[in-house]
Amino acid sequence: MSASTDQSPAHPIAPEHAPSVALIAAQWDFADAPGSMARFIALLDQSPFDRDRGLRAEVLSQVARCLGLQRRFEDAHAVLAQAIDLLTTLESRAGVRVLLERGRLDNTAARPGRGRADFARAWDIAGRIHEDALAVDAAHMLAIIETGAAVDAWNQRALELARRSTDPDARRWIASIANNMGWARFDCRHYQEAIEHFQIALAERQAQGKPDNILIARWCIARCRRALGEIDAGLAEQRALLDAHQQAGTVDGYVHEELAECLLARGQPDAAAPHFAKAHALLSVDPLLSTRESTRLARLAELGRRHG
């Protein structure tokens, strides 16, 4: 199937694979790549992963993803090579997983092409073998690495497939795709359109019932309010989010950053300073932000120096 054609009719995961697929997904905590990797490695010794070559290759692909999140790229590629050695063809669920993770490694490492060929092949194969969730994943990755009109086109393909799929794993992608579409519109300064996408994501997150994801979706809408000049509305929602985090016993550097920006926009730099300082303390430990957003972090530190 070419990238320009519609995806095949949606089909659910084969019943015999559903429990194993769910077990693989249950090992993930994206905020803790080393811990997730340890769980995946332990899974390799359990049935049916110790005897089913395809399922074993799937788990190895997730070990590779964990390594990639830790920027251990050579180790990750070595693990993917082990996974490929277990397969007779990439025209399989496990093969699509391997292609996706190899593409993600290239994207994270900023290699030429950023995994485009692997993502496109994963999209084609997943469509042919009716693996809707993996096809949506591939389309969403293509939207991330592309530019211009291709971003919207791939996001739209991903969203349409997720919405019509009978696979619950594919349908769970709706919120993430809507979120990505919102940020794409935000980057183009189409803030009202961005809010519309973020509201779709919020409704999906509320239906899924995961409090942390709901708070993130609310934050995205509030961020747009500031961009639209609706400072008071943005500030009120960020304060509500801060209260929600305090009640849950959690902290979010992005909430403190937005609180600070809203207060600064209202001409209250002294009130903003402690939130800038807190935002810097929380966000500067993120290695990805330290690499890609050094100027932003430096600004948070400078504006936070008023505190104390």
DSSP state of 287: H
Q: How far apart are CA 276 and CA 130, in angstroms?
A: 48
Q: Give me the pLDDT at residue 100, please.
A: 98
- The vertex-240 CA angle with 236 and 241, nearest 5°, equals 115
153 is written with which tokens? 């086109």
Q: Give me the pLDDT at residue 8, please.
A: 34
* Residue 4: partners with Cβ closer than 8 Å, 6 or more residues away: none
String of b and e for 131-140 (b: at least 16 CB within 10 Å)? bbbbbbbbbb
Q: How far apart are CA 235 and CA 233, in angstroms?
A: 5
Q: How far apart are CA 178 and CA 155, in angstroms?
A: 8
Cis peptide before 48 (omega within 30 of 0): yes
pLDDT per residue as tens, the chain (308 positions)? 333 333 333 333 344 455 677 788 899 998 899 999 999 999 999 988 889 999 999 999 999 999 999 999 999 999 999 999 999 999 999 999 999 999 999 999 999 999 999 999 999 999 999 999 999 999 999 999 999 899 999 999 999 999 999 999 999 999 999 999 999 999 999 999 999 999 999 999 999 999 999 999 999 999 999 999 999 999 999 999 999 999 999 999 999 999 999 999 999 999 999 999 999 999 999 887 888 899 999 999 999 997 55
Q: Give me the pLDDT at residue 130, please.
A: 94
* Residue 231: partners with Cβ closer than 8 Å, 6 or more residues away: 225, 262, 265, 266
Q: How far apart are CA 24 and CA 15, in angstroms?
A: 15
Q: Give me the pLDDT at residue 290, please.
A: 84
* Residue 110: partners with Cβ closer than 8 Å, 6 or more residues away: none
Q: Which amino acid is located at 271 in the chain?
A: A
In the chain, where are the structural domains located?
1-171
Torsion of CA 200, 202, 208, 214, to 10 degrees: 170
Torsion of CA 142, 144, 149, 152, to 10 degrees: 90
Closest by Cα among 35, 18, 19, 17 to 27: 35
Q: Give me the pLDDT at residue 230, please.
A: 98
CATH number of 1-171: 1.25.40
Q: Which amino acid is located at 13 in the chain?
A: I
